[in-house]
Structures are given as C-alpha cells and as structure tokens.
Amino acid sequence: MKRLCATVLIATLGLATAGTADARTDTTTLQRHADALLAQGAPGVLVEVDTPRGDVRVRSGYGNVDRRTPVPWQAKFRIGSYTKPFVAATVLQLVGEGRLSLDDTVERWLPGLVAGNGNDGTKITMRHLLQHTSGLTNYPAKMPELFLEREFENIRYRTFRPEQLVALAVRSQPDFPPGEQWNYSNTGYVLAGMIIERVTGHTWQHEVRHRIVEPLGLRDTFLPGTAPFVPRPHATAYERFREKGLEADPNDPRWGRPLDVTHYNPSWGGAAGDMISTTEDGNKFLKALIGGEVLRPAQLAEMTKTVRTPQLDPAWAGAEYGLGLVWVPNSCGGYWSHGGDIPGFKTRNGVTADGERSVMVSINTDSMVAEPGAPKLDQDVTKELVDHALCDLK
C-alpha cells in the first residue's frame, strides 16, 4: 500500500504554518520517528509536542485507510488508561479536602464488595488501588469476549456495571497480599471510581468533569459513560483480533484482518479507561498536573511517590509507578507518563519533571502488527519518539 506523505504543522507564538518547518524548530527527526511507526503496524499517527516556544505537530499514515485520508489535526480519540491520572487526581483532591484518606480501606466505603476467594477489602487501601499494589486480579483478563473477533461484535454495545467488573475479579484469588508486590490491575481504578461516587454522591465522571476538565478548559475531553460514539473529527479506529484471543500463542498469534471498531460502549473500561480526548488537551492536563495546577503540594507529592515496577521494564526500562503516574528514565533524566491501550487506539505521552515540555502520541490501533522486515524493538514502539520530543527537539 502506498503510504500518505508525511505532514508537519508548527504553531509558534500562536502562528500556524503548514508544510514547512520553522527555522527555530527541527521537526525532521520527530517526523522520522512518526513515519517509523507505520512499519510497526500503525495505520496512522498523530504527535503533538508542547514546548516553551509553542506547539509542534506531525502526522503520518492514514486516519482512514480505505479513503487514504490523514489523521485530522484536531482528532479526538479514546485515551484508554490515560484516564487513570484523571481519576487518581480526583481522589487526591478529595484527600486534600479531608473527605477521604489514602489509608481508608475499600471495606469502609464499599462494605462487603471485595470479599471471598482470599480477597479482603478490609486490608486494601486507597493507596493500594491507585498504586496497583492491591493484589486484585485484573478483570479484563476474565473477559475473553473483548479479545475474540466473533465475541466482540456481540458485546460491543453492551453496558457493564462497575459491580459486575469487580465481581469478575474477586471470583479469582488475589495475585498477592495487599502491598507486597506490584501488578497492573484495572480493578483498582473501577473501585476508585465507585468510592468517588460514594464519597461525593456524584458519579466519578461528574467529579472529573467538574474538578479537572472544566477548570482546565479541556473543551475536547469527554467522559462518555455508555455512549458508543467518538465525537468528530476522529480517525477510524482499527483492531486486529488474535485467532484464539487471550489463549493465542504469543509466538504465533494468527492476527485477523483490521476491523473498524471506532464505535462501541466503553463502560467495560469505566474509571479504568473510558475517556476521550485530543493531543492538545492531553498535553494541557499533563503540564497542569505536574505544574501544580490540579493538586495541592502535599497531594502531588503523594501522587509522585513511586515503587519499582519490573513488569514494565520490557517496554520502559527502570519504570516506577506512583498514584496514577509512571516515572520513566530517559536520556535527559526522566519524565512522567501514563499510556493507554483500548480497542482501536493507542495513547502514549510524557511530561518533563519541571512541567515545561510534554508530548502526546495517538495511534489509531492498539493491535500493531509489524510489517515483514521491520526492525524488532526491545522497548515500547514510541520510546525513541517520546525521548526525542522531551530531550532533543528545539
């Protein structure tokens, strides 16, 4: 397939210029990194870097493969687990207001919900939930219908209640006792969303919108709940399902054809991953969060207190996890981040420790299948791009 030509847009001091690079901004390498993602299986790529001099955007590939149209510059996309920092920040605002404590147990707010099969809500705290140290099983691993083509079509518009998702997790024994290890678990964030509702009397979506989205002016950030649509403009979201889903041989997954999965009910993601945003809004939130505009100093300090996460080393060597944030070492020290993968979209990002520079990457698939002969990567597909954006781009 003949690929779409690379495109660059630069906004410096409020002035936009399409097609050529500003004399003070070398986008050649950034564009090369975006183009390289096509060989790794990206249909299309949109990148936005927010620098002290202004915003820089590049894109590559197709937003719609059949029509051979680019990813819209203002594309809206599902951010998956990038929802988690929004939820964690909301919890920490409640902590700062004295309405909740990181030492509160799940049992205090949701009595009897986490019990049985060795699961004990009296021993799991809010900190454990946000830090992924609760030991609770990751509920999507109990939903094979999400990973099989024929099953996904049957459930794509179904509504899942958070209680159902938690019930899937507690049917299994915990992975480890609370606080003793780290393992990524969406279950903790579904519970955090339920606790936000119990504390405030409002849904977690209402609280995130009222406390973060609206005050920061994130006009293109949405909390869809059960609504299946992605607001326009957007790229087409593609998904390739493995023939045997979760049971597939990792060495021979037998990927299916790319399917359009742009529209589906994201309630199964809930507070763990149902939000929609843009590269501009995503950058704005990251910079505001690390810049101290969202949380009081004491709560931001808690959010950025990390534990080692060896399970993330294959993608981000040396990574550490805080409360809804990942610290990733890089060539200029390190950065804060939280990616997101959800059917049809892959989100990657990063913000420097001083909050001065950030990057958002959107790919319109999360099932990337590299082309024959493409370089084999020993890290996340966007690692070099993000490193360049935060350390080298002038």
The catalytic position among 81, 134, 362, 367 is 81
d(CA 43, CA 66): 11
51 contacts 393 by C-beta, under 8 angstroms: yes
d(CA 257, CA 252): 15
In angstroms, how far is the first alpha carbon of the chain from the final one?
A: 33
d(CA 315, CA 311): 9
CB-based contacts of 276: which residues, under 8 Å, 6+ apart? 76, 77, 78, 79, 221, 222, 223, 224, 230, 231
With 0-12 / 13-18 / 19 or more C-beta atoms within 10 angstroms meaning exposed / middle / buried, residue 254 is exposed
For residue 81, indicate whether it is catalytic: yes
DSSP code for 72: P
d(CA 90, CA 338): 16
Q: Where are the beta strands (DSSP E) in the chain?
A: 7-12, 15-18, 44-51, 54-61, 77-78, 115-116, 119-120, 238-239, 259-260, 276-277, 307-308, 320-321, 326-328, 335-337, 340-342, 345-352, 358-363
278 contacts 75 by C-beta, under 8 angstroms: yes
d(CA 325, CA 130): 9
Q: What residues are annotated to the active site?
A: 81
